[in-house]
């Protein structure tokens, strides 16, 4: 769109009012770097996402360093129960870190920053993508930090178990990134963590993340929670037991559900501008 604007000489000149859409909708490393730095400066977020799973492991897992997970004793190269708990705590840390995107979104909505961004050429999808990548970055730090604490404490696992279980915990946490965004666009900023904190703790408890569930009703309930599939897949490289197809269906289904919910509330929120 162009309009004619008068000049001091009296001759009109054309002014272009069209906004140029930036490459990739505005997704760039500078914006991403700023977002990650903001997350790293938030001490409360770092405590709950990085320190909390480490503290839980030190309180619960270290005492099982010499308790064998399989028939082979730990002293003869067998795996320990502490290794099982370590992977579970890494999954929990990735979960909490991933949902932190919801808290960031809610704060930006409350302060009006997201409204200002929507007045720029920044594509909404690029905005969400930056939140997702920054949350995954924090999740990766949580997983690596938990594994590092486990190694220092004396947990021994094959290298491939660390790699495969870490990747499963990290990438699988996308489910909870979607959950965080859904809650972040759904409730006021001051209530986000009040929702997410108890929700994650309950899901981890009933999903069999903190302790193995006995066969029966509790296990049947756990299979319907979003934590069940992620925990089963992340621990499979350690136990050597193939996870059932329901674990994959579980993750995919909850990812679709939370993503659809986040998209709906995001679309509703953008209509307010």
Distance of alpha carbon 54 from alpha carbon 49, whole angstroms: 9
**Quick one: pLDDT at residue 191?**
61
Task: Render the chain in DSSP notation, one character per residue.
Answer: -EEEEE-TTS-EEEEE-PPPPPGGGG--HHHHHHHHHHHHH-HHHHIIIIIHHHHHIIIIIGGGTTSBSSSS-GGGTPPBHHHHHHHHHHHHHHHHHHHHHHHHHHHHHHHTHHHHHTTSS--HHHHHHHHHHHHHHHHHHHHHHHHHHHHHHT----HHHHHHHHHHHHHHTHHHHHHHHHHHHHS-GGGHHHHHHHHHHHHHHHTTSSSPPPTTHHHHHHTTSHHHHHHHHHHHHHH-PPPPHHHHHHHHHHHHHHHHHHHHHHHHHHTT-
User: pLDDT tens for residues 1-12?
Assistant: 555 555 555 555
Distance of alpha carbon 240 from alpha carbon 260, whole angstroms: 34
CA 179 to chain CA mean position, Å = 9
Quote the percentage of the chain above a pLDDT of 70: 81
Model confidence at 164, pLDDT cuts 50, 70, 90, reads very high
Task: Give, in degrees to the nearest 5, the angle at Cα 58 between 52 and 62.
Answer: 150
CA nearest neighbour of 130 among 254, 240, 19, 36 = 36
For the chain, the domains span 25-270
User: pLDDT tens for residues 43-97?
Assistant: 777 787 788 899 999 998 888 888 887 767 776 667 888 999 999 999 999 998 8
- pLDDT for residue 23 is more than 70: no
CA nearest neighbour of 103 among 15, 188, 227 = 188
pTM: 0.82
Distance of alpha carbon 72 from alpha carbon 185, whole angstroms: 49
Contact between 262 and 120 (Cβ < 8 Å): no
CA dihedral 109, 113, 117, 123 (to 10 degrees): -40
3-state secondary structure 250-264: HHHHHHHHHHHHHHH
**Quick one: pLDDT at residue 117?**
67
């Amino acid at each position: 769109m162009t309009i004619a604007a008068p000049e001091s000489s009296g001759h009109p000149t054309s002014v272009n009012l069209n906004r140029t859409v930036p490459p990739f909708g505005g997704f760039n490393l500078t914006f991403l770097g700023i977002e990650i730095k903001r997350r790293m400066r938030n001490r409360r977020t770092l405590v709950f996402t990085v320190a909390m799973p480490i503290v839980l492991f030190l309180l619960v897992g270290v005492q099982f360093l010499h308790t064998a997970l399989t028939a082979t004793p730990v002293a003869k190269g067998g795996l320990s129960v502490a290794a099982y708990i370590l992977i579970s705590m890494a999954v929990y840390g990735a979960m909490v870190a991933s949902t932190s995107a919801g808290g960031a979104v809610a704060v930006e909505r409350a302060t009006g920053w997201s409204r200002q961004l929507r007045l720029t050429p920044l594509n909404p999808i690029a905005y969400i993508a930056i939140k997702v990548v920054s949350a995954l970055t924090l999740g990766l730090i949580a997983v690596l930090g938990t594994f590092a604490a486990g190694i220092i404490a004396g947990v021994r696992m094959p290298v491939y178990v660390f790699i495969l279980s870490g990747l499963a915990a990290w990438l699988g946490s996308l489910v909870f990134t979607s959950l965080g965004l859904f809650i972040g666009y759904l409730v006021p900023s001051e209530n986000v963590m009040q929702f997410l904190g108890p929700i994650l703790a309950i899901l981890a408890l009933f999903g069999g993340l903190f302790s193995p569930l006995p066969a029966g009703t509790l296990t049947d309930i756990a299979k319907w929670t979003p934590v069940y599939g992620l925990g089963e897949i992340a621990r499979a490289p350690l136990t050597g037991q193939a996870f059932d197809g329901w674990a994959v269906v579980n993750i995919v289904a909850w990812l679709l559900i939370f993503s659809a919910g986040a998209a709906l509330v995001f679309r509703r929120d953008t209509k307010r501008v």
